[in-house]
Amino acid sequence: MNPFKRAPRRRQLQVQPGAEALETRKLLTGGAGNTFAIIPGTIDQPNGTVSVSFTLDQAHFTRPKGKVALGIDVVADPSGTLKPLITSVTNPHGEIVPQTIHAIYDPHVKHRQVANGRTTSAVISPIGSFPGDTTAPVTYTVQVQSTAKTTGKFLLGFYLPGDANGDGVVDKADLQIVRAQLGAKAGDKRYSFDADANRDGRITRADLAYTQQNQGVKTTISPVIAANLDTTSVSNPAARTNNVPTARFTGTATPDAVITYSNSSDPTQTTTTTTADASGNYTVVTPLAQGENVFQVASVDVFGQTIKGAIAPVQYRP
């Protein structure tokens, strides 16, 4: 599920990314739609501001026109009181990107009511490349501020406006989806959250314009990591038991992400680290301590997103 999806007329945090102690399942729930990265943060000072940096690398983010209209959204941890707001996006030189805008959220709110604060927490910002080298990685920064003297945790989500089917690329299929939903509002049967590029609760010509603007944009970054025990590497796959002190795991993650396995059952064991290949596949061989071994798996991708989770125990019994 996508934690940034809204119920009609009201923002709602549906799920919070977390670990699943389950094998053969992705450690972070799938179904994130066009949200390709989720980064947590905390504001511990009333009306405080924190900065979150992110890097777009041409190796993992295709931008045919050199620019991309990037969507950024923020939701608060429902257990706290924080009321977060994205106040600005700055370029590598620390300059504010002036075209970053909040849309109006609520199908029934008119544009003249923007002054009353009836806006979505999502923004769309034009992200470009270095003029002298369009292939070089470029780092931007998002500023998130607490309002009403609140504090707490939040999730910052990055999404691809125009990626109406959530497959990581904006193409003609997405244009067809948005065109078919023009006029739909949140709560309608034909309304799709991912087709709503500016997340204002209605599908309009503005969403179609963003979809056209982002044609050809593609990302291989994904808010998921999978970790699976290679059953050929253990003596008793059904019981997840091995008679030698190693086990092999395979999985998928964002291409070039750094994957770390840590044995939480045996603090003396060193962590085992590998890097996912260009297709996002990885293999890691970990040492086992005698008895039960519970591994914590962490993935840090090129965008700066960290995903953590636990997998089902593996037994070592000589």
pLDDT at residue 117 is higher than 60? no
Instruction: Count up the domains in the chain and report the number.
Output: 2
Percent composition of the chain: helix, strand, coil (DSSP 3-state, to 5): 10, 35, 55
Tell me the CATH number at 309.
2.60.40.10
**Whether residue 243 sits in one domain with residue 122:** no
Q: What is the model's pLDDT at position 215?
A: 97
d(CA 81, CA 88): 22
In a domain, 86, yes or no: yes
Q: What is the model's pLDDT at position 4?
A: 67
Average pLDDT of span 167-192: 94
In a domain, 267, yes or no: yes
**Whether residue 101 sits in one domain with residue 63:** yes
**Residue 309 belongs to what domain range?**
226-316
**Whether residue 108 sits in one domain with residue 199:** yes
- Could you give the C-alpha distances from 253 to 50, 250, 301, 303, in angstroms and in order? 28, 10, 8, 12
In a domain, 241, yes or no: yes
pLDDT at residue 22 is higher than 50? no
Cβ atoms of residues 63 and 136 within 8 Å: no
**Whether residue 192 sits in one domain with residue 51:** yes
Neighbouring C-beta atoms of residue 24, cutoff 10 Å: 11
Domain boundary among 163, 193, 219: 219
Domain boundary among 197, 219, 241: 219
In a domain, 251, yes or no: yes
d(CA 308, CA 41): 15
HEC sequence for 256-302: CCEEEEEECCCCCCCCEEEECCCCCEEEEEEECCCEEECEEEEEECC
- pTM, two decimals, is 0.81
In a domain, 2, yes or no: no
Q: Kindly tell me the burial class for residue 108, based on how many C-beta atoms sit within 10 Å of its own C-beta (0-12, 13-18, 19 or more).
A: exposed
In a domain, 21, yes or no: no
In a domain, 13, yes or no: no
**Whether residue 165 sits in one domain with residue 116:** yes
Q: Give residue-wise pLDDT tens across range 196-216.
A: 999 888 899 999 999 999 999
In a domain, 105, yes or no: yes
**Whether residue 197 sits in one domain with residue 131:** yes
HEC sequence for 81-132: CCCEEEEEEECCCCCECCCCEECCCCCCCCHHHHHHCCCCCCEEEEECCECC
Identify which of 2, 317, 310, 314 has the alpha carbon closest to the alpha carbon of residue 155.
2
Average pLDDT of span 161-175: 96
- Could you give the C-alpha distances from 190 to 107, 216, 217, 277, 294, in angstroms and in order? 14, 25, 25, 38, 44
**Whether residue 184 sits in one domain with residue 111:** yes
**Whether residue 289 sits in one domain with residue 153:** no
Domain boundary among 219, 243, 262: 219
**Whether residue 180 sits in one domain with residue 230:** no
pLDDT exceeding 70 applies to what percent of the chain?
84
**Whether residue 300 sits in one domain with residue 238:** yes
Eight-state DSSP code of residue 238: T
**Whether residue 234 sits in one domain with residue 203:** no
